[in-house]
Amino acid sequence: MKKFLSIMALAFLSLNASAQDQLIPKPVSIKITGGTFKIPGNLSLAPGLPVKETEYFKQKSGLSFGESGKTEAQLTYIKLKQPAGAEALNESYTLEITPDRIHIISYTDQGYFWALQTLIQLLEEHKADKTIPAMKIQDQPKLAWRGMHLDVCRHFFTVDEVKQYIDYLAMYKLNTFHWHLTDDQGWRIEIKKYPKLTQIGSKRKESMIGAYVDNTFDGKPYGPYFYTQEQVREVVQYATDRHITVVPEIEMPGHALAALSAYPELACTKGPFEPATKWGVFDDVFCPKEETFTFLENVLDEVIKLFPSAYIHIGGDECPKTRWKECAHCQELIKKYNLKDEHGLQSYFIQRIEKYVNSKGRKIIGWDEILEGGLAPNAAVMSWTGVNGGIEAAKTKHFAVMTPGAYCYFDHYQGDPQAEPNAFGGYTPLDKVYSYHPIPEELNAEQARYIMGVQANLWTEYITDFRQVQYMIFPRIMALSEVAWGTSQPEKYKEFEGRVIHQFEKLDRMHVNYAKSIYNISGKVIPAAGGVAYELSTSQNPSGIRYTLNGKNPTIQSMTYEKAIPVSASSTIQSAYFENGQLKSAVSSQQFTVSKTTGKTITLEQQPSENYAFGGAFTLVDGIIGNPRQLGKTWLGFQGKDVVATIDLGKNTDFTEVYFNTLDNKGSWIHLAKSAQVYASDDNSHFKLIGEANKDDILKAGGKMKLKVGQQMGRYLKIRIENAGIIPAGNPGADSKAWLFVDEIGAL
């Protein structure tokens, strides 16, 4: 009898697991109630179900349907009367599955739709056995803005592809589609009053290809590509039917080259201009003169008629002030309105646009640079450079959407950069997305109310077709959805990863080109006696990892990974995952260059930018030389800051050379170091200058610095690497703080 009860208990637990373990995003509450619902060959629907939502369900569920007649309906719905002021309940729902029927309760058709999304996943999960465990799910999202962004300016995607993108959002209960429609490289929306925007601005003579540092182009005309207003209406309606809000972005005052190519009179100089063929940031921006505001107001009039969203995104990011500094009209405006400087002029620009948008019954949202010079009164902030923009906005009672690059930029690498397609840079694997907490701890409960939600962004400089779009968002969109829904548990990442892998079966059936990066070997350098050790992991059974130390590709006969691999001398570790004797992953390769600093304790006076912090200070002594063509994982990035690092060698050590690399990638605002100084000390208090390099030395070396310091002896090594400072005129991002990227600091 006890054995029978144990078997029953295990069966019950199995039902519980199968019901909830595969759902993404995980619901707030699931209660298994006993029994099962047999999936019928013809599911009978109650009369009066919401039409559009139910039609969607019919298309996506894979079932056959019939209206209830003599038999009781198997899918029913009750729409409750919503209490006044209870907007937070708009997306809530209860999904109750009994042995006889499926019953949905919600306050809105939107809640009903999200319940159907959960039901679709349950049907997919139990397709084979044709039964669903009886259960009661009570669910609602934590955050109101759950968004995905798509840049169609660098590379264009068809209406059908944009609709597919929207379907992906709906699958995982994301409710906001941020459509980036204008930029330097292309104007993608028809504006009837200004036909040259698409006649001229929707095409470019060629496109940059490969890594940015290669500075190569394909020589092929691109475009004209744009969406007609009828196509825009079609997309907006398609999204609306799926309870997704489309937020359009019309960039201003920067990222305006495509518009200025069509209407050069809107610039501070005469031009001529052409849509950009390179990626990056450019000096020519909208001039804040009356004809510019008239133009933008007319454009916004047409945009507002097409998009019913409460918010209109006006960009506001990366606006160099070079032209404004040289423009007599701009300088006169600064004097006339008693503005502090060109940053004040940007605030003036944004506030004028905001007043106009508000007069049309809408609100503006912009990237966090709209905080420069003072935030417009009713504006919302999209915090991308980190979390500080969102924190500042919330503390001043402005709404914010959190989208920091370190967690939410899906154009970053998601696996070992050497095994991934070329990407913009950065390193944002699935577990990092899943670890994000959108509401900053610095905010109290009242301030936290101003965090509307979270969003991930997909910029498409290096994404040339829709299969690559799929690759970059899947599976990271699943992590975003659970973070946004509010049920993520980073401490249980492996459980989530298991659900993700299970979802791959569905993506295979949908022919989605998802990234399999989590199957590949992930390597992490950790401190160890005598240097460092290389820790390998995979989403699969770690006993399947094989590796070599001689740079050769591993085979099933190679060494089996058991624990972190000690690295005490320069070497190349190759690793891969095998299953049933077959190679199941890409081969990962990591070269180590061991020096007297490798694995030693290091401290930084100033920390790197959150977007480019990776392994923190230890990255500079982990034995890995950075690849200048891949800004992922091996470089630390500092904006407007010097690098001042102190390395404790552990004991008095002799050395004759100190080396490090900095990058030159001006299109991305990355400049070589301005100077460098090296110091040595026995006590970490009294340091002696032992070597230095000036700007010419660094330029001549191309940033690859090897400083001969003579015969030295010391326990502590300090190096100061000076940031280039403010970017000079004539460079992308002029008048902004330069980025300094540094990799390994070694000593020989």
Q: Which token pair is 372?
A: 């420069």
Q: Which residue out of 96, 184, 190, 318 is catalytically annotated?
A: 318
Catalytic residue from among 91, 96, 125, 183: 183
Collapsed DSSP state (helix, strand, coil) of residue 690: strand
- Strands 545-548 and 412-413, sheet pairing: unpaired
Structure tokens at 722: 């000076």
DSSP code per residue over 86-129 = -GGGTT-EEEEE-SS-EEEEESSHHHHHHHHHHHHHHHHHTTTT
Active site residue 682: no
Q: Which two tokens stand for residue 52?
A: 């559009």
**Is 122 in contact with 26 (CB distance < 8 Å)?**
no
Q: Are 478 and 24 in contact (CB under 8 A)?
A: yes
Q: Contact at 8 Å (CB) between 302 and 715? A: no
d(CA 35, CA 37): 7
- Selecting among 155, 255, 343, 671, the annotated active-site residue is 255
Q: What are phi and psi for residue 227, nearest 5 degrees?
A: -105, 130
* 607-610-613-616 Cα dihedral, nearest 10 degrees: 50
| 540 secondary structure, DSSP code | S
Give the separation between CA 416 and CA 146, rounded to whole angstroms: 28
Catalytic annotation present for 255: yes
In terms of Cα–Cα distance, which of 600, 735, 608 is closest to 281?
Answer: 735
Buried b / exposed e over 492-517, threshold 16 CB at 10 Å, is: ebeebbebbbebbebbeeeebebbbb
3-state SS of 301-368?
HHHHHHCCCCEEEEECCCCCCHHHHHCHHHHHHHHHCCCCCHHHHHHHHHHHHHHHHHHCCCEEEEEH
Residues designated as active site: 183, 255, 318
